[in-house]
Amino acid sequence: MIYVGIIVAICAAEFFVRRRVNKNFSTNENREVGRLPIRLRKYHNEGMANNTLEKKPQLVKGIGIGVVSILTIMFLLAMTLKGKSALKAGLALILGGGLANLLERFRHGYVTDYVQFKVPIPFLKKLIFNIADFCVFIGMAVLMLREIGKQC
């Protein structure tokens, strides 16, 4: 049940953070975060990563539904297995992040991103993320480390 809680917590956290960002930030407004190499910046992403397919919102929604559906099936199958906590946690993180973004996209037609890194790498400094994105990345890392650990 803890894994379902992870999914719900990610969706709830994103809902409240995005609501606050949308209420308190103007579009593309930058706010520095102390001395950290991070800035907060509200951006409405109408496409997928890096605004890919922004001119095809129905396709983006369809891809999102497909990915979240497959992840849901994988998660439900994993929940029937004994043990496998890394698998379940990784899938819960990925599913929670994907579902949070999909719900936002259906609710508003876009996903609110708000974390940008101040780095000297041109490609990376253009990207803007949200908590759901980080959950997907962390979940993928958990699954990759799990697989690497099985190889040793």
CA distance 150 to 128: 33
- Helix/strand/coil for 114: strand
Does residue 82 lie within any of the structural domains? yes
- 151 pLDDT exceeds 80? no
Residue from 85, 100, 73 nearest 7 by CA: 100
Expressed as residue numbers, the domain containing 49 is: 2-144
Does residue 89 lie within any of the structural domains? yes
Does residue 23 lie within any of the structural domains? yes
Q: What is the mean pLDDT of residues 125-141?
A: 96
- 129 pLDDT exceeds 80? yes
Residue from 50, 52, 53 nearest 116 by CA: 50
Strands 38-45 and 111-117 come out as antiparallel
CA distance 95 to 8: 10
Whole-number pLDDT of residue 20: 97
Rounded to the nearest integer, the mean pLDDT of the chain is 94
Does residue 58 lie within any of the structural domains? yes
Burial 122-131 (b: 16+ CB within 10 A, else e): eeeeebbbbb
Does residue 83 lie within any of the structural domains? yes
Whole-number pLDDT of residue 150: 80
Active site residues: 113, 133
Quickly state the pLDDT bin for 49 (edges 50, 70, 90). Answer: confident
Is the pLDDT higher at 57 or at 17? 17
Structure tokens at 94: 């990925």
- 152 pLDDT exceeds 70? no
Report the number of distinct structural domains present in the chain. 1
- 69 pLDDT exceeds 60? yes
Inter-residue long-range contacts of 32-38, CB under 8 Å, 24+ positions, other chains counted? 37/117, 37/118, 37/119, 38/115, 38/116, 38/117, 38/118
Does residue 152 lie within any of the structural domains? no
CA atoms within 13 A on the CB side of 113: 21
Does residue 150 lie within any of the structural domains? no
Does residue 149 lie within any of the structural domains? no
